[in-house]
Amino acid sequence: MDGSNFELPDEADNEAYFGRPGSRTGVAGYPQARCAVLVECITHAILAANLGPYRASEWSVCEPLLAHLRPGMLCMADRGFNGHEYWRQAQATGAQLLWRCAANRVLPRHQELPDGSYLSVIMPTGVPKAHAREHAVVVRVIEYALPGLADAQPRYRLLTTLLDPAPAPALELAALYHQRWHVEEVFDELKTHLLQSRRVLRSKTAELVRQEFYGWVLAHYAVRWLLHQGATRHRMPHDELSFASHVQLLRREQAPSGAFPPAKPRLRQRRFKLVLQESGHLRATQTQDRRSPRMVKRRNSPYASHDPTAPTRVPIDCTPQTLPAMPTSETTPKAKGKANKPWSSVPG
């Protein structure tokens, strides 16, 4: 479960509903919306999605996704979601939790476990101590390091509802948590491959933005469903097939409207079988064990931000005007002494 921002057309209705971020030169050039998605790590399928204003907190946008958690699931999330109330709401769904926690957070060690993890509690804040102790939630804390990475942090910390280390050892959960970064690949698939590198969406009103956003998510699900069918048919891992190539396959094989009449289901089945046969050959160039450091996606413009209240067309005076004649050699007084040639050195 994670969130991200994306840019919208510079229209008054979009700015009024979703808001606009600031910048060094005033305000950003485009309004932005904040989205949250619940993603299955292996298939990259988006199980649920929500949309909100740019200024909304990440948890307020992610909170509606909790309704889609079920017992038997393991929900992973980043450091912004480990507050007591957030944890309590997510735990009430019956799903197991594995969330990252800030390394400097004070967590008491109540019980040491054989695998190096320990049991602790998280309590609500801003309430009397008696009330906080009464509503404390027991969690298991896993602390680990990544010595194989030169730029890794000295300590990483996870909180989980899996209190028994026997079926869920600490190092296995630590290795499993890093699959949470598959959600970043999902955002790349949405913003880069499905938007075709367009900077903003097309919709010019808030209601149309919502419609376009959920259509965008459904299009991603359709591509991932096709990729899942191809991986199942050819008995291949999902990450060995290319998402971008499947997007191109769907665009290339997309039939015109009315090409599949309801009275001819065999025609649809035959065409779908051909698409699945080609799906197994669309291999990805890279698979697992990848990393990408955080960096600036695009540089800031040196120009001032656009002012939506300023007039877009300012009249200017383009009337030409004659200039006085340039002095000629007859009217220009001659310099005294010997004239230097153009290529000669200037006398000292």
DSSP string, 233-289: HTT--GGGB-HHHHHHHHHHHPPPTTSS-TT-HHHHHHHHHHHHHHHTT-B-S--SS
Residue 132 predicted with pLDDT over 70: yes
pTM value?
A: 0.76
Distance CA 282, CA 256 (A): 23
Give the CA angle between residues 153, 24, 310 to the nearest 5°: 150
Residue 274 predicted with pLDDT over 80: no
Beta bridge partners of 35: 4, 51
Closest CA to 284 of 200, 208, 188: 188
Q: Where are the beta strands (DSSP E) in the chain?
A: 2-7, 22-23, 26-27, 32-39, 46-53, 74-77, 96-101, 111-112, 118-122, 137-144, 156-160
Residue 179 predicted with pLDDT over 70: yes
Q: What is the pLDDT of residue 289?
A: 57
Residue 174 predicted with pLDDT over 60: yes
Most confident of 3-7, 149-153, 269-273, 337-341: 3-7
Q: What is the pLDDT of residue 346?
A: 46
Cα first-last separation, the chain: 77
Distance CA 180, CA 99 (A): 10
Q: What is the residue-averaged pLDDT of the chain?
A: 81
Dig out the tokens for 149 from the structure. Answer: 């990475």
Beta bridge partners of 52: 34
Neighbour-count burial of 170, counting CB atoms closer than 10 A to its CB (0-12 exposed, 13-18 middle, 19+ buried): buried
Are 31 and 20 contacting, i.e. CB atoms less than 8 angstroms apart?
Answer: yes
Are 230 and 240 contacting, i.e. CB atoms less than 8 angstroms apart?
Answer: no
What is the separation of C-alpha 67 from the centre of its chain, rounded to a whole number of angstroms?
Answer: 22
pLDDT band for 165, please (50, 70, 90 cuts).
Answer: very high
Dig out the tokens for 95 from the structure. Answer: 């799903």
CATH classification for the domain delimited by 2-250, as one of 3.90.350, 3.40.50, 1.10.10, 3.30.70: 3.90.350
Per-residue pLDDT reduced to its tens digit, 98-121: 999 888 888 889 999 999 899 999
Neighbour-count burial of 240, counting CB atoms closer than 10 A to its CB (0-12 exposed, 13-18 middle, 19+ buried): middle
Give the single-character DSSP code of 341.
P
pLDDT band for 264, please (50, 70, 90 cuts).
Answer: low
φ and ψ of 186, to 5 deg: -65, -45
Distance CA 140, CA 297 (A): 37
φ and ψ of 306, to 5 deg: -70, 135
Per-residue pLDDT reduced to its tens digit, 223-248: 998 888 888 888 888 888 888 888 88
Give rounded-to-5 percent helix, strand, coil for the chain: 35, 15, 50
- The letter for the amino acid at 197 is S
Dig out the tokens for 88 from the structure. Answer: 């309590």
Residue 322 predicted with pLDDT over 50: no
Most confident of 101-105, 114-118, 259-263, 302-306: 114-118
